[in-house]
C-alpha cells in the first residue's frame, strides 16, 4: 500500500517537476509573466527635438499591441527618457534605465553621439542596445560589441550606392558635394568616397560643409554652382535639403541632383521646397512615403493611416519619423514574439540576430530584414528612385550592399 502510494507520489512529483522545468519561462531583469520593460532614450528637447516624434510613435505602437493583448500575454512597459541629444545626459538616462528601472533592453536609442557614449557601458553590463536609431556604420560589429545592433540601412551603404550609380551612368561627372559637418554627414561621404575609388575621387570638384546652427546655406550653394559641377550630392537634413533644392532652382543651377534619404521625404522636404523644383531628384529609399500617390491605396499604408488617426492623433501624417518609428516597433515586436517564453537578455540578442526575410508592410516591396550572428545589419537593401510628377518612381533593382 505504502509502496504504491509512494510510487504514485514520486510519479506525481516527477511529473510536476518535469512540467515545471519544460514550461518554465525564463526571465531576465524587466521581464515577468505580466510585462516586458523596454527602455528608450530620445531627444525630446534640444537641437534634435524633431526626432522626439519617433519615441512617441513607438510608444503609441506598443500601446496598440497592449490593447490587442500584448505579446504572448505580456504587456509592454515602454519607458522613454529625454537626453536632449547630449551624450552625458544619455549616459545618465541609460544608467537610470538599466540600474534603476531595470529594463530588459534599450530599444531605438537615438543619435550617434548618444549611442557612442553608452556603447561600452551597455556591452559591459550585457544589456541589449537594440535597433539603435542612427545609420552609423559602426553599430554592426558583433565580434567586439555583441550587445549592440543597428536597424536602418547604414549611411556608408547609401553613399556607395550613389557612387556606383554615377560610375555606371555618368562616368565623366563633375561632382559637387554639400554635407553636414557631423558624424552622419562624414559617414555618408566616406561611403561615397569608398564607392568611387581612387580614380573616381578625381571627379569631385568641390566639397562644402555646413553646421546645423547655420541659418542658411546660400554661400555654399553659390560656391557649388560656381565650381562648374554638373552633379550634386546633397547630404543634408530636411531643413537644409529644402533650402538647397529651392536655392538651386532659384539660381538656375540644374545639376544631376542626388539627395540623401534623410532629406527625401515628400511631405517634409519636397512640398515646402516646391514640387516643381524637385523634378528629376534621385534618392535611395527603403520605406514607403505617405505623400507618395503610388501608395495611396496600399493596404499597409491605409492601415498605418488608420493607426495614426486612432493611436497617434497628435502626430503629423507627413512626418516620415512616424513611419520610421512604426517600422522599427514592428521589428521589435517580431523579436519579442520569437523569444516566446525565454525573455532573457541573451535570448533577445539571439532572436534579434535570427531574423529571416522579415517583410514589413511599410517597407518597399522586395526589401527584407535579415540578420545572423555575423550580420548585425538588419536592413541592407535599398532601391534607387527618381522624383517625377508627385511621386518617387522606383527604378532599377533592389540593391543589396554587403
Binding positions for another protein, rule: CB under 8 A: 44-47, 49-50, 52-53, 56, 80-82, 84-89, 91-92, 95-96, 99-100, 112-113, 116-117, 119-121, 181-183, 186, 208-211, 213-216, 218-220, 222-223, 226, 238-239, 242-243, 250-252, 267-269, 271-274, 314, 316, 318-319
Nearer CB in complex with another protein: 29/361: 29
Minimum separation from the CB atom of position 96 to another protein (A): 6
Q: In what order do the strands lie in the sheet with 256-259?
A: 204-210, 175-180, 231-235, 256-259, 282-285, 381-388, 391-400
Minimum separation from the CB atom of position 45 to another protein (A): 4
Q: Which three cell numbers stand for residue 42?
A: 530620445
Nearer CB in complex with another protein: 170/311: 311
Minimum separation from the CB atom of position 9 to another protein (A): 46
- Residue 121 · residue 91 · CB < 8 Å: yes
Q: SS3 for 274-339, per residue?
A: CHHHHCCCEEEECECCCCCHHHCCCHHHHHHHHHHHHHCCCCCCCCHHHHHHHHHHHHHHHHHHHH
Minimum separation from the CB atom of position 261 to another protein (A): 17
Residue 285 CA from chain centroid, whole number: 12
- Residue 134 · residue 150 · CB < 8 Å: yes
Nearer CB in complex with another protein: 161/221: 221
Q: Provide the 3-class DSSP secondary structure of residue 73.
A: coil
Nearer CB in complex with another protein: 317/398: 317
Nearer CB in complex with another protein: 215/299: 215
Nearer CB in complex with another protein: 74/193: 193
Query: How far apart (Å, rounded) are the C-alpha atoms in residues 107 and 279?
Result: 37
Nearer CB in complex with another protein: 61/165: 61
Minimum separation from the CB atom of position 120 to another protein (A): 6
Minimum separation from the CB atom of position 367 to another protein (A): 25
- How many residues are given for the chain? 402
Nearer CB in complex with another protein: 221/352: 221
- Residue 174 · residue 203 · CB < 8 Å: yes
Nearest Cα to Cα of residue 345 among 151, 129, 65, 62: 129
What secondary structure letter does DSSP report for 39? E
Query: Cα separations (Å) of 165 from 168, 172, 398, 399?
Result: 5, 12, 13, 11
Amino acid at each position: 500500500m505504502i509502496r504504491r502510494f509512494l510510487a504514485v507520489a514520486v510519479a506525481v512529483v516527477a511529473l510536476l517537476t518535469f512540467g515545471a522545468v519544460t514550461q518554465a519561462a525564463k526571465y531576465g531583469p524587466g521581464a515577468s509573466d505580466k510585462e516586458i520593460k523596454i527602455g528608450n532614450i530620445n531627444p525630446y528637447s534640444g537641437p534634435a527635438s524633431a526626432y522626439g516624434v519617433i519615441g512617441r510613435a513607438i510608444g503609441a505602437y506598443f500601446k496598440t499591441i497592449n490593447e490587442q493583448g500584448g505579446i504572448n500575454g505580456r504587456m509592454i512597459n515602454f519607458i522613454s527618457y529625454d537626453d536632449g541629444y547630449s551624450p552625458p545626459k544619455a549616459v545618465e538616462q541609460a544608467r537610470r534605465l538599466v540600474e534603476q528601472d531595470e529594463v530588459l533592453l534599450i530599444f531605438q536609442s537615438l543619435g550617434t553621439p548618444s549611442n557612442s557614449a553608452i556603447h561600452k557601458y551597455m556591452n559591459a553590463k550585457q544589456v541589449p542596445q537594440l535597433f539603435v536609431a542612427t545609420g552609423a556604420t559602426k553599430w554592426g560589429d558583433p565580434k567586439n560589441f555583441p550587445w549592440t545592433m543597428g536597424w536602418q540601412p547604414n549611411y556608408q551603404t547609401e553613399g556607395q550606392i550613389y557612387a556606383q550609380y554615377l560610375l555606371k551612368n555618368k562616368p565623366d561627372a563633375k561632382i559637387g558635394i554639400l554635407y553636414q559637418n557631423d558624424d552622419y554627414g562624414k559617414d555618408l561621404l566616406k561611403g561615397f568616397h569608398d564607392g568611387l575609388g581612387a580614380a573616381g575621387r578625381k571627379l569631385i570638384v568641390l566639397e562644402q560643409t555646413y553646421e546645423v546652427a547655420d541659418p542658411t546655406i546660400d554661400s555654399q550653394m553659390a560656391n557649388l554652382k560656381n565650381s562648374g559641377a554638373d552633379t550634386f550630392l546633397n547630404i543634408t537634413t530636411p531643413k537644409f535639403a529644402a533650402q538647397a533644392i529651392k536655392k538651386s532652382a532659384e539660381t538656375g543651377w540644374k545639376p544631376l541632383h542626388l539627395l540623401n534619404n534623410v532629406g527625401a521625404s515628400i511631405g517634409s522636404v519636397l512640398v515646402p521646397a516646391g514640387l516643381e523644383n524637385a523634378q528629376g531628384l534621385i534618392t535611395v529609399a527603403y520605406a514607403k512615403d505617405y505623400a507618395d500617390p503610388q501608395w495611396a491605396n496600399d493596404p499597409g499604408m491605409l492601415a498605418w493611416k488608420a493607426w495614426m488617426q486612432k493611436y497617434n492623433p497628435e502626430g503629423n501624417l507627413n512626418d516620415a519619423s512616424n513611419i520610421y518609428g512604426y517600422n522599427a516597433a514592428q521589428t521589435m515586436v517580431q523579436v519579442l514574439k520569437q523569444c516566446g517564453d525565454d525573455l532573457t537578455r541573451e535570448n533577445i540578442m539571439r532572436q534579434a540576430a535570427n531574423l529571416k526575410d522579415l517583410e514589413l508592410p511599410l517597407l518597399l516591396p522586395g526589401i527584407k530584414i535579415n540578420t545572423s550572428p555575423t550580420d548585425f545589419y538588419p536592413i541592407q537593401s535599398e532601391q534607387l528612385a527618381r522624383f517625377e510628377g508627385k511621386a518617387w518612381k522606383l527604378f532599377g533593382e533592389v540593391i543589396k550592399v554587403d
